[in-house]
Structure formats: C-alpha cells, structure tokens
Amino acid sequence: MSAKKLTQNSPGISIALKYCGSCNPQIDLSAQAGRVRQFVASRGDIELVPYDSPGIDLLILLCGCPRACADKEEIKSQARHIILISGEAVNHEKCHEKDLPHSVNASIEKTLHDLRD
C-alpha cells in the first residue's frame, strides 16, 4: 500500500481489529479489544473501522497465543501498519497481560506519529 501522511487537518487514522480463531487463548481477547476501543474513543484523531474497510491505516491483530495464526500476509496486506498482539506479547515483545494495553496504546501513538511525520 502506498504511504499516507497525515497533517494536522487530517481526520486521523483508521484502525481495524482482526481476531484469530481463539482456539488456544492465553489472554482475554475481548478485554484487550475493549481496551483498544476505550483508547480510540478517548481520542479525536482515531476512527475504528471494520476490517474489510478500504485503506486501513492500522490493523491490530488480536491473537490469543504466541502461534499468532492471524499473522498472515493476506491479512496484513489489508493495512499500512500492523500491531500484533500474540498472547502476552506485542509485536513480538514479551509483556504481562496486564501491561498489554499500555504497550498497544504506545504502539498506536508511535504509528500516529509516524504517519504525521
């Protein structure tokens, strides 16, 4: 996908959530998704969109275990940037489940910054 740069006047970034099959969850995926939704709702520059929307800026893959079965190119190609939650890890960096929201929010902030630079 082509690079998209946001300006101060841009409406913001679009974020979609994609769940794995949840066959072996080691974390509460619904709770993690709820925390992402809360974070998005607290911001005015982020819009949560359906996974099948065109031009997704950021796709958050919610995988319940380290196998990360949703981490596939055909899925990742739907968005410009990816955040992978795979069990107790964010983008392959280990963290305790209680710390996942902070790590995910920091990754969202970094993506937003990268899109604006």
Domain positions in the chain: 13-116
Give first-to-last CA distance, the chain, whole Å: 17
% of the chain exceeding 70 in pLDDT: 91
Query: What is the edge-to-edge ordering of all strands in the sheet holding 13-19?
Result: 46-48, 13-19, 56-63, 79-86, 89-90, 93-94
55: three-class secondary structure by DSSP: coil
Q: What average pLDDT does this structure show over 67-71? A: 93
C-alpha closest to that of 13 among 74, 71, 58? 58
* pLDDT at residue 57 is higher than 60: yes
- Looking at residue 35, what is its pLDDT? 95
pTM for this entry: 0.87
State the pLDDT confidence band at 11, using cuts at 50, 70 and 90.
low
Residue 93 pairs with which residues in a beta bridge?
Answer: 90
Host H or E run for residue 26: none
Question: What residues contact 34, with CB distance under 8 A and at least 6 apart?
Answer: none
* pLDDT at residue 3 is higher than 80: no
Which CATH class name applies to 13-116? alpha beta
- Looking at residue 44, what is its pLDDT? 86
* pLDDT at residue 107 is higher than 90: yes
